[in-house]
């Protein structure tokens, strides 16, 4: 045990995802030794984020106003929606610069083990967007896990009767790398999902 | 593949241990409880990422210690594979392969081919179907690491379905059940197909082995008894596994809603082994059962070797369970690869090789001996 204020910070840090006791100690002592203004800036950043950031009223991405910058952007194609599990996935897809439509953040995936059913996800909100926004295609970009696959199937069954095109991201090899860098699983997937040329 | 170096820290009775095994035969001799099996268990853990004793990870940690560490370096010609596992009392275990975190556990399991013979191998024959399913599934993954994701996916999907049924019973959301059924049927068909492919290869190998290890030229065959639909025998034309399973899940829906669990699927299937058309489990002698069980392990070894990699062979105290004839026939068939043998009585081990004396918490090489 360390002095109470130090231990308190370590305990808080250790509750964060991906941070164990040792990392928490390292971060706490680092913050003890840096300039006070640096430490304060971190604390203020956390508080400011919590106070200013909220969820986009349309797609549930994080934003600091009523709607997120993507939903407000008039150049985006409103007819295509990319559905993701979490807000951080939006950033990942955005980085590709390949998708010019809008997003919808479900807030998770169907997982009865964790008590998450379709009613816990923002599905109704998605279906409510289809008509008013003139959506014709939904791209499902949930994770390639059992939960992500189940959610994708659920979406396909809910959306197809509305006359939409529903697609799912392909899984395969990382581009630009050598074949021998791919792990067996990825390579195995790519092999079983191969395409004729 | 062979193990060149093994290091244990706080594993069961060992505070610290470092061994450089012989590239060929290693015989571990010591009293019961001295820690022979622990060494073999640790070697097995590096290959399969679980204990062959079916022991929970925490039981590997030495009393009074916080973390058990197993490190090993394997080689095959020029290729070296270093596997390191840290098992803490609380929190997740950490695995490193060549210093890097592997993307999945399955990719580790395929890295080191290893076959273990245990005194409990008779369980494969005598106990419930779960033992035979596990044998098949483990071997499927060792032979084709890339399919581990499908096996795990199937299990996960069934667990999700069971969780939904347990929580909501008859009020479980129909569409969620529908999509889970669809996924379970797809993945289940893959699991079934993999098991059947393996059984088709295994059949002739087992018969051949029985002729050598057993007491006669009787035919070993298998019947795959599905928990739904009819049994599948030998290389009969295979039914549409996915469609059958989808139909069975639909038919079992009401039962499953009542019982709050998934009653059909590969997780409920049975694999019956027969010897001259007799069910080995119920209608074979103890000796015959032992020979078939031994055959299953040797067959695993042979199939792994066919893949092009000589597996590490681990024999934990098996000679005490075998009569002299079977011991001799097994030894005569011992392969060219690296072997680890343990025994409480040195004179029981009918193989030449490097002798290691194991006493509580330490291990000493006592030189070549016959």
Whether residue A91 sits in one domain with residue A33? no
Shortest Cα distance, chain A CAs vs residue B160, angstroms: 6
Looking at residue A164, which CATH number applies to its domain? 3.40.1360.10
What pLDDT shows up at residue A1?
74
All domains of chain B in start order, with CATH: 1-113+309-370 (3.40.50.300), 126-308 (1.20.1050.90)
Report the chain B residue with the minimal C-alpha distance to residue A20: B91
Whether residue A33 sits in one domain with residue A94? no
Residues in chain A, total = 197
Shortest Cα distance, chain A CAs vs residue B2, angstroms: 22
Shortest Cα distance, chain A CAs vs residue B164, angstroms: 5
Three-state SS for B266? helix
What pLDDT shows up at residue A190?
77
Report the chain A residue with the minimal C-alpha distance to residue B108: A184
pLDDT digits (tens, 9 = 90+) for B65-106: 999 999 999 998 888 999 999 999 988 899 999 888 887 666
Chain A hits for B149, Cβ within 8 Å: 185, 188-189
Whether residue A100 sits in one domain with residue A35? no
Q: What is the pLDDT along chain A (197 residues), one digit of tens a residue?
A: 788 889 999 999 999 988 888 899 999 999 999 999 999 999 999 999 899 999 999 999 999 999 999 999 999 999 999 999 999 999 999 999 999 999 999 999 999 999 999 999 999 999 999 999 999 999 999 998 999 999 999 999 999 999 999 999 887 777 766 776 666 667 777 787 787 77
Shortest Cα distance, chain A CAs vs residue B225, angstroms: 26
What pLDDT shows up at residue B350?
76
Q: Which residues contact B234 (CB under 8 A, 6 or more apart)?
A: B200, B203, B221, B222
Interchain CB distance below 8 Å, B146 and A150:
no
- Beta strand segments in chain B, E: 2-11, 14-19, 25-29, 67-76, 79-88, 94-97, 114-117, 220-225, 232-233, 270-275, 278-279, 312-316, 339-343, 353-359, 362-369
DSSP-assigned letter for residue B61? B
CA triplet B195, B339, B85: central angle to 5 degrees?
70
Whether residue A127 sits in one domain with residue A65? yes
Which contiguous run of DSSP H or E holds residue A103? strand A102-105
Whether residue A107 sits in one domain with residue A189? yes
Instruction: Name the nearest CA neighbour of B229 among B180, B164, B178, B185.
Output: B185
Last residue in a domain, options A52, A69, A85: A52
Report the chain B residue with the minimal C-alpha distance to residue A158: B175
Q: Is B127 on the interface with A (CB under 8 A)?
A: no
Whether residue A114 sits in one domain with residue A136? yes
Interchain CB distance below 8 Å, A154 and B179:
yes
Chain B hits for A118, Cβ within 8 Å: 173, 175-176
Facing A154 at nearest CB: one of B145, B148, B176: B176
Interchain CB distance below 8 Å, A189 and B178:
no
Chain A hits for B144, Cβ within 8 Å: 188
Compute the distance between CA of residue B287 and CA of residue B289 in angstroms, rounded to an integer. 5
Compute the distance between CA of residue B79 and CA of residue B91 in angstroms, rounded to an integer. 32
What pLDDT shows up at residue A182?
65
Looking at residue A48, which CATH number applies to its domain? 1.10.8.420
- Rounded to two decimals, the ipTM of the complex is 0.80
Interchain CB distance below 8 Å, B104 and A183:
yes
Whether residue A108 sits in one domain with residue A83? yes
Whole-Å CA distances, A70 to A82, A99, A111, A189: 12, 11, 29, 33
What pLDDT shows up at residue B370?
45
Long-range Cβ contacts of B15-24 (<8 Å, 24+ apart): B15/B62, B15/B65, B15/B361, B17/B361, B17/B362, B17/B363, B19/B356, B19/B363, B21/B338, B21/B340, B21/B354, B22/B338, B22/B353, B22/B354, B23/B338, B24/B338, B24/B339, B24/B353, B24/B354
Mutate to test the interface with B, among A117, A142, A146 (most CBs of B within 10 A): A146
Q: Which residues, given as ranges, of chain B have pLDDT below 70?
A: 104-107, 109, 235, 367-370
Shortest Cα distance, chain A CAs vs residue B189, angstroms: 15
Q: Is B255 on the interface with A (CB under 8 A)?
A: no
Angle between helices A123-133 and A146-159 (to 10 degrees): 40
Whether residue A73 sits in one domain with residue A170? yes
Whether residue A154 sits in one domain with residue A74? yes
Interchain CB distance below 8 Å, A184 and B107:
yes
Q: How many domains does one find in chain A? A: 2
Domain that residue A10 falls in: 4-52
Whether residue A112 sits in one domain with residue A45? no
Interchain CB distance below 8 Å, A112 and B163:
yes
The phi, psi pair for A35, rounded to 5°, reads -55, 145
Report the chain B residue with the minimal C-alpha distance to residue A110: B176
Whether residue A192 sits in one domain with residue A119? yes
Which contiguous run of DSSP H or E holds residue B212? helix B174-213
How many Cβ contacts (< 8 angstroms) between chains A and B? 73
Facing B164 at nearest CB: one of A112, A146, A185: A112
Chain B hits for A153, Cβ within 8 Å: 179, 182-183
């Amino acid at each position: 045990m360390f002095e109470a204020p130090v231990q308190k910070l370590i305990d808080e840090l250790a509750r964060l995802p991906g941070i164990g006791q040792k990392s928490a100690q390292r971060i706490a002592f680092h913050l003890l030794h840096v300039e006070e203004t640096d430490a304060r800036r971190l604390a203020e950043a956390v508080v400011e984020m919590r106070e200013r950031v909220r969820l986009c009223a349309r797609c549930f991405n994080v934003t600091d106003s009523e709607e997120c910058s993507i939903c407000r952007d008039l150049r985006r194609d409103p007819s295509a929606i990319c559905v993701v599990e979490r807000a951080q996935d939006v950033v990942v897809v955005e980085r590709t610069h390949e998708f010019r439509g809008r997003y919808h953040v479900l807030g998770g995936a169907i997982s009865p083990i964790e008590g998450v059913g379709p009613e816990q996800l923002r599905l109704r909100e998605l279906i409510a967007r289809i008509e008013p926004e003139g959506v014709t295609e939904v791209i499902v970009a949930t994770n390639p896990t059992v939960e992500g696959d189940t959610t994708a199937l659920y979406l396909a069954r809910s959306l197809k009767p509305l006359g939409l095109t529903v697609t799912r991201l392909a899984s395969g090899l990382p581009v630009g790398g050598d074949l021998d860098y791919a792990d067996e699983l990825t390579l195995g997937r790519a092999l079983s999902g191969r395409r004729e040329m | 593949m062979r193990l060149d170096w093994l290091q244990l820290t706080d594993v069961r009775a060992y505070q610290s241990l470092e061994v450089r095994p012989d590239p060929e035969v290693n015989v571990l001799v010591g009293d019961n409880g001295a820690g022979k099996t622990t060494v073999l268990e640790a070697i097995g853990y590096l290959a399969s990422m679980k204990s062959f004793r079916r022991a929970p990870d925490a039981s590997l940690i030495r009393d009074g210690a916080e973390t058990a560490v197993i490190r090993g370096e394997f080689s095959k010609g020029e290729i070296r594979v270093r596997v390191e596992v840290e098992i803490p009392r609380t929190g997740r275990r950490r695995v490193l392969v060549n210093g890097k975190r592997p993307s999945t556990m399955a990719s580790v399991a395929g890295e080191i081919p290893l076959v273990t013979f245990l005194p409990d191998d008779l369980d494969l024959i005598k106990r419930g179907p779960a033992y035979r399913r596990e044998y098949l599934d483990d071997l499927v993954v060792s032979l084709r690491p890339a399919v581990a994701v499908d096996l795990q996916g199937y299990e996960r999907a069934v667990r999700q379905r069971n969780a939904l049924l347990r929580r909501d019973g008859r009020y479980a959301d129909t569409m969620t059940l529908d999509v889970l059924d669809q996924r379970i049927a797809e993945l289940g068909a893959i699991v079934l197909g993999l098991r059947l492919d393996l059984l088709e290869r295994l059949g002739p190998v087992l018969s051949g082995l029985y002729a050598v290890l057993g007491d006669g030229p009787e035919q070993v065959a298998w019947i795959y008894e599905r928990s739904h639909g009819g049994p599948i025998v030998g290389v009969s034309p295979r039914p549409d596994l996915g469609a059958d399973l989808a139909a069975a899940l639909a038919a079992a829906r009401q039962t499953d809603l009542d019982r709050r669990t998934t009653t059909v699927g590969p997780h409920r299937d049975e694999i019956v082994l027969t010897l001259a058309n007799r069910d080995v489990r119920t209608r074979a002698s103890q000796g015959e059962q032992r020979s078939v069980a031994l055959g299953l392990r040797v067959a695993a070894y042979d199939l792994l070797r066919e893949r092009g990699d000589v597996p590490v062979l681990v024999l934990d105290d098996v000679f005490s369970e075998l009569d002299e004839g079977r011991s001799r026939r097994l030894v005569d068939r011992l392969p060219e690869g690296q072997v680890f043998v343990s025994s409480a009585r040195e004179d029981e081990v009918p193989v030449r090789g490097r002798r290691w004396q194991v006493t509580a918490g330490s291990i000493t090489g006592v030189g070549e001996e016959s």
